[in-house]
Structure 1
Amino acid sequence: MNLYPINAGNFKLDGGAMFGVVPKTLWQKTNPADANNMIDIAARCLLIEHDKRLILIDTGMGNKQSDKFFGYYHLWGNDSIDKSLKQFGFHRDDITDVFLTHLHFDHCGGAIQWNKDKTGYEPAFKNARFWSNKNHWQWATEPNRREQASFLKENIFPIEESGQLKFTELPEGNILSNSELGFDIYFADGHTEKQMIPMIKYQGKTIAFMADLLPTAGHLPLPYVMGYDTRPLLTLDEKEKFLNLAANENFYLFLEHDAHNPIITVKHTDKGVRLHEVFTAKDIFK
């Protein structure tokens, strides 16, 4: 098995929204804001090469939205999925599976693109299956009013229309062993219904792709919960259980949204689970 970090681009989000009820005087110590209160955010995806399959976890925002739309998110840097894939010798047509942790636009927007004459949409990975789960799919296609702006029809329905959509099974508890994909999946409901956190066994390590269960290293304290989460009290419980497991088992946490701390480990302290070490992908994916 080989793992590759794929940067789909960088953007900015309001720091207050990213940290909910936590005062700025606290969260800005780890996630400094600019003059507009915006903090750096990455769309760091993960490519798994294993058993003749190339599995891409999440896709970033994509590029089909309007300039007005992207203006809200202050894109920065020159990274893209295509550049990142090319760096490692791959093309988007090589991808066999796209695993979507959830269907918010910053995680799945890159799965769908305009067709050549911009009259409709098509899969951006024409040879891939696109993975979700039935509960989350229903949640996203019949959205509540709070999340409606995050579940964009043009990102979601074309996946189903392509015939390339596939659902994972749902677990009896929190963790599902998916033999077809080759990794375990931790299901979490605090951020959105049935968000999926891949847990990949790699060279004796467990790499957990944290999606929005832990957006940045600055979110490690339990009360540091995003304002975007639909069930923040449930997020508290889910974070506590997962971070205790991560500290006990020495998981390597792959942070999708942390622009400056790609991979971290955590440890138990008197104040709860806290940051232990920070790694680059080159440190771990050898």
Structure 2
Amino acid sequence: MSQVLDTPPPTPVPADDDLAALAARHGLSVSGARPSLPEYVRQLWARRHFIAAFATAKLTAQYSEAKLGQIWQVMTPLLNAAVYYFIFGVLLNTKRGVPDYIPFLVTGVFIWTFTQSSIMAGTRAISGNLGLVRALHFPRAALPISFALQQLQQLLFSMAALVVILLGFGVPVSFSWLLAIPALVLQFTFNTGVALIMARMGAKTPDIAQLMPFVLRTWMYVSGVMWSITRLTKGDHLPHWVTLALETNPAAVYIDLMRFALIDSFHAKQLPPHVWAAATGWALLAGVAGFVYFWKAEEMYGRG
């Protein structure tokens, strides 16, 4: 006769709902769970000193191995401006009909570099700092925001050279220079929003960082950095949608606002219609949409 062995019945596996209820009953939560949007903003504000200190530290270390050190913060955009002046101003003669062309060009290069560098730094903000992201718990938006703040600090440092150039070419100091402050605030908000968008995209697909220089270079060529949009769009030789796209291009809007603020020969009639409304609209759209877009993927950063 075969002997029948008594075996205990299998232990039932708790359902997911039962596990969730058990965890909630004991005060447990998902590791790295995305907080609510208001709580996320509160956490970021609580770490504002870290964001500022991190930005300053990155700026200080950026040229630490170069012999000229922080001088490259000014030399890099100035050398770019010199190259653009030779190619576009002299060879292509884009300076024709543009008063104070060198201040016009240098202002455009400095302001464009601010946007370009913020977006490029934002693209690598998560993928280039995975060790920090995986080691510490903090709102990940602190990284792209701090990189955008770093670029703002670099621009403010470089503005000293811009002021010297303006004065050297006979551009007088005027009260309109104060308009540079709200223009930079709006541009910083826009840059930060786009940096947040690119940070999320770069975290998922790091190869985007290799593509962005080509995208940004194309964007620069249509943003009036080296040439006057007003002169190009004057008349009816361009389709209306092309004129509208050039005039409402956010990079061109912020560049034109800074030229209007700093260069007395750049008049209000050279600004696109409703330029302050456009600058504010782009800043709010990019800032709010970029922040929400980045926050929605908070749980995935550093988990790949």
Question: When the two structures are superposed, what TM-score results if normalisation uses the length of structure 2?
Answer: 0.24
Q: Give the helix-richer structure, 1 or 2.
A: 2
Bigger fraction of residues in strand: 1
Larger Rg: 2
TM-score by length of 1: 0.25
> Greater RCO between the two (CA within 8 Å, min separation 6)?
2
